[in-house]
Amino acid sequence: MEENVSNKQNQNKRESNQKIVDYDLGLYIISNNQHQNKRESDQKIVDCNLGLSILILEM
């Protein structure tokens, strides 16, 4: 019976470790999305600056 209890505790420990890993992975994916969004907005700024440069050259 004692071993059964400790096995259950180990099982619970593994599950909680899994939850931490899932959580970290979730955070990692979210932070990657934020980097992606930042790159996209940087790209828009570059496009805008390029557009302005072309306008100025044409004037």
Give per-residue pLDDT as tens, 15-24: 888 887 788 8
**pLDDT on residue 1:** 64
Give Cα 28 to chain centroid, integer Å.
Answer: 4
CA distance 22 to 20: 5
Nearest to 52 by CA among 4, 44, 38: 44
CA 2 → CA 6, 11, 40, 54, distances in Å?
6, 14, 57, 78
**pLDDT on residue 44:** 83
Give per-residue pLDDT as tens, 19-52: 877 888 888 877 888 877 788 888 888 888 888 7
**pLDDT on residue 5:** 78
